[in-house]
Structure 1
Amino acid sequence: MEAPETVKHATLLWATAIAAGIVETVLAVSEIARDSGLDAGVWMNIGVRSAIYLGAFVLVAFFARGRRWARVSLALLLSVVGLAAMVVPSAMQLADGETLIAAVGGDGEFALAFFVVRLLHVAAVLLATGLMFSTGANDYFRKPALAAA
């Protein structure tokens, strides 16, 4: 069975979200490198993020092929944990009186770029999550009925 348009669009949005995360990492590392150089901790962070992004791409590939476990994994790992990791710290900073751009993008040279990419990232996750649980996607991921004996 070919994947419905909603699953294809969700797949594209997941890829967009992951790409946005990679761009965010590049912007953050560029800021750190400009200010203080890259120490072992930064390289460790890059390695961990690279493994996460690779794992996310693998999940998206399995999701696109109709694997239910990949859909559930994306929902739990990216839609819940990943989204919370992006939104909660910014919400806390906003509650403390920071401006929106400072709370989301920071205060460095790349703050506006980071802000825009982060908003794209969050929007892609929210839209992908909605599409992957739409009626068409639910039908695609529904377990086939067992043949009557």
Structure 2
Amino acid sequence: MTTRTAPSVPQAVERAYWLLGLALFAGVVEAIAHTSTALEGPDADVGSLAGQLAVRVVVYGAVLFVMTRFRSGRAWARNTLAIGLGVFGVASLVMEPLAWLSAGNDPMSAVAGLTLDAAVIATARLTHLVAVIAAVALMFRPDANRYFTRR
């Protein structure tokens, strides 16, 4: 009887997996901070906020599922994460700050008037962005490519 063992997960894939986990965590932190900030306002729309959180829970759950398939060597999962997070996810993270800058806002005035909420949101978003970009770069390293072509 021949025993076949699964190939070990390459370091690049393992690191990408954990970076995606960090990005997911940063997204959760940002969502909580945004919700908390919105609820402080007198005209907070709880129904709308609940709907937004529900969408995030579904999306984050789907990402977590695809991450597990990615780690086990499924090429479709790598492609889904690369396109979904590496293209659309990154775009969604940079669109709001770019729109804010293109509206003529002064970055120095934002820094001068920085609140704790804004600092948490900005830190979470930057962490999310850097983690996704680094993870996508690792996903396509030579050892990762070999791992995904063997499956």
The reply to whether TM is greater than 0.5 is: yes
Structure 2 stretches lacking a partner, 5+ long: 1-6
1:26 to 2:24 alignment: no
Counterpart in the other structure of 1:65: 72
CA deviation string 1:40-60 (max 9, x = no partner): 111111100100001000011
Percent of residue pairs bearing the same amino acid type: 30
Give 1:101 deviation, angstroms. 8.0
| Pairing of 1:101-120 with structure 2 (within 5 A) | 109-120=116-127
Does the C-alpha gap of structure 1 residues 38 and 92 become closer, same or farther in structure 2, counting only changes over 3 Å?
closer
Counterpart in the other structure of 1:147: none
Counterpart in the other structure of 1:13: 19
1:88 to 2:95 alignment: yes
Distance in 2 of aligned mates of 1:109 and 1:20: 16
Counterpart in the other structure of 2:144: 137
Does the C-alpha gap of structure 1 residues 29 and 120 become closer, same or farther in structure 2, counting only changes over 3 Å?
same
C-alpha contact 1:101 1:115 (8 A) present in aligned 2: no
Structure 1 stretches lacking a partner, 5+ long: 145-149
Distance in 1 of aligned mates of 2:142 and 2:78: 14
> How many correspondences in the alignment?
142
Distance in 1 of aligned mates of 2:108 and 2:120: 10
TM-score, with length taken from structure 2: 0.86
Distance in 2 of aligned mates of 1:99 and 1:132: 36
Give 1:80 deviation, angstroms. 0.6
TM-score, with length taken from structure 1: 0.87
